[in-house]
Amino acid sequence: MGYSMRVPIGLEGTHSAVKYYNPIFESTVKLAFYHISFKKIDGKLMDIIIKALEEELGEQIYQSPLKLFENIEPDSADIAAFAFAAEQTSLSLFELYLTLNELSKYKIYVNESHRSNLKINQYYMYFGVALKKWLSIARNKLLHRIEYFLDKDQVETSLSATTNNKFTSSSLDISNCFTQMTQFWRRLAWPDILGAIVYLIKMTEDTANATRLYAILMEEKLNAKKFYDTNDLSFYTQE
């Protein structure tokens, strides 16, 4: 799916307005240049954003998190193909979200009495369906990677002063995947803490299900190699 949304968001211009233009206007003509400019841009910008998101994602952008998760998306038969197709759209959406997230921080330079009325305060509310898609992609890519890492698995040895601890390479790879999901959530910095609970629950469930799948597939592989009969970890090493 192509993604043609092009929204002109001048973060560099905003930074310049705060650092250079606003001090000049305030010192020469006693005009709050940044305050006036940001308020004018705020309404027009969010109107463009909302219209573009509605064209891309439909009326779902207005739904609450609870409503969004009432409809469960079916798992794709080809996880890799699904992830690749959906990621092209979601990556652009994510970049847009991060840009708005950063831009919203500049509201602190607007007069305090006007900040609560800025439309950009609610920018994240229109990304609920996008966040659902991001979580779906993360889930499906994780499931695909579990199967891939197990297929390429081998035993490693961690040396210490007293013991040689053996572990599989797949356990490290899957652990890294979980770390990436945590980093994604931190980078997202969803502004609504209470509203984020629904997404956190979904993310936790997906992680738990992925962990369960890894354990089941690992046990099946160990049983196939008769590991429990030999009780020798070296028997499981892939040549």
Q: Is the pLDDT of residue 16 over 80?
A: no
Q: Is the pLDDT of residue 7 over 50?
A: no
pLDDT in tens, 162-206: 444 566 788 888 889 999 999 999 999 999 988 889 899 999 999
The first and second tokens of residue 73, run together, are: 């998306």
Residue 109 near residue 34, CB atoms below 8 Å:
yes
What pTM value is reported for the model? 0.74
Q: What is the pLDDT of residue 65?
A: 77
Q: Is the pLDDT of residue 9 over 70?
A: no
Q: What CA–CA distance (Å, rounded) separates 29 from 225?
A: 81
Taking CA atoms, 131 is separated from 191, 202, 214, in Å, by 13, 11, 25
The first and second tokens of residue 17, run together, are: 């307005």
Interacting residues of 120 by C-beta distance below 8 A, sequence separation 6+: 42, 45, 46, 100, 103, 104, 107
**Beta bridge pairs of residue 94:** none
Residue 206 near residue 135, CB atoms below 8 Å:
yes
Mean pLDDT (the chain, rounded): 76
Interacting residues of 98 by C-beta distance below 8 A, sequence separation 6+: 187
138 burial level (CB within 10 Å; 0-12, 13-18, 19+) = buried
Q: Is the pLDDT of residue 209 over 90?
A: yes
